[in-house]
Amino acid sequence: MYQVNLEELITDLKRHEGFRSRVYDDTRGIPTIGIGFAIKDLELDEEVCNLILEKKISKLLPRIFSKFPFLKDQPNTVKIVVINMCYQMGVSGVSKFKNYLKALENNDYITAAAEMLDSRWSRQTPNRAKELSEKIKSLAS
């Protein structure tokens, strides 16, 4: 269709634009990321979003398991719920759920589920909190 050496073009653009992994303001003050991608013009298809999600998770997992070493001995459901919460609130945010984490560590899933709902997080995202709390509660024997 278009007669252009794509490889040469990409090499040129990368050299001129550079790469930045975090948002920055370009020379006109427009928030930009990556290889000159203006945030206001950026459109991401689901495939790209899935790749970004996988990258984020792969960086997040070592931090979570390092911060909460008891998770390695927990059922998969607990791991998924804690990771889900860390994805939303960050590891430091979940770290503030002291009673919840202690209950999980002690396999007290009823208390852990109740602690999840007794939080500002639960009031801010009630549907997510209730669903995740029910998952934890379902582990109680």
The structure tokens 């500002």 sit at 120
- Using 50 as the pLDDT threshold, list the residues of the chain that sit under it: none
Domain boundary assignment for the chain: 6-41, 46-137
Contact by Cβ (8 Å): 137, 109: yes
pLDDT for res 83: 98
Contact by Cβ (8 Å): 30, 40: yes
Residue 125 to residues 8, 21, 56, 122, Cα–Cα distance (Å): 48, 29, 21, 5
46-137 CATH choice from 3.40.50.80, 1.10.287.70, 1.25.40.850, 1.10.530.40:
1.10.530.40
Contact by Cβ (8 Å): 114, 120: no
SS3 at position 4: coil
pLDDT for res 2: 77
Predicted TM-score of the model (pTM): 0.87
pLDDT for res 141: 73
Query: In the chain, count of helices (H) and strands (E)?
Result: 8, 3
pLDDT for res 97: 98
